[in-house]
Amino acid sequence: MEVADRNAALNGREIEWIEANAFDLLRDSADAGRRFDTIVLDPPAFAKSKKTLDTALRGYKELNLRALKMLRPGGTLITCSCSYHISLADFMQVVADSARDMHRTLRVFETRSQARDHPILLAVPETAYLKCLIAGVSY
Residue 80 appears among annotated catalytic residues: no
Domain extents for the chain? Answer: 2-138
pTM for the structure as a whole: 0.86
Alpha-carbon distance 62 to 64, whole Å? 6
pLDDT in tens, 41-93: 998 889 888 888 999 999 999 999 999 999 999 999 999 999 999 999 999 99
Within 8 A by CB and 6+ apart from 136, the residues are: 74, 75, 76, 77, 106, 107, 109
Cβ atoms of residues 81 and 46 within 8 Å: yes
List 53, 82, 96, 120, catalytic entry: 82
Continuous segment of H or E residues that includes residue 60: helix 53-70
The sign of the dihedral angle between the CA atoms of 80, 139, 17, 66 is negative
- The domain made up of 2-138 has a fold known as Rossmann fold (3.40.50)
92-115 pLDDT, tens digit each? 999 999 999 999 999 999 999 999
pLDDT of residue 56: 92
d(CA 138, CA 95): 14
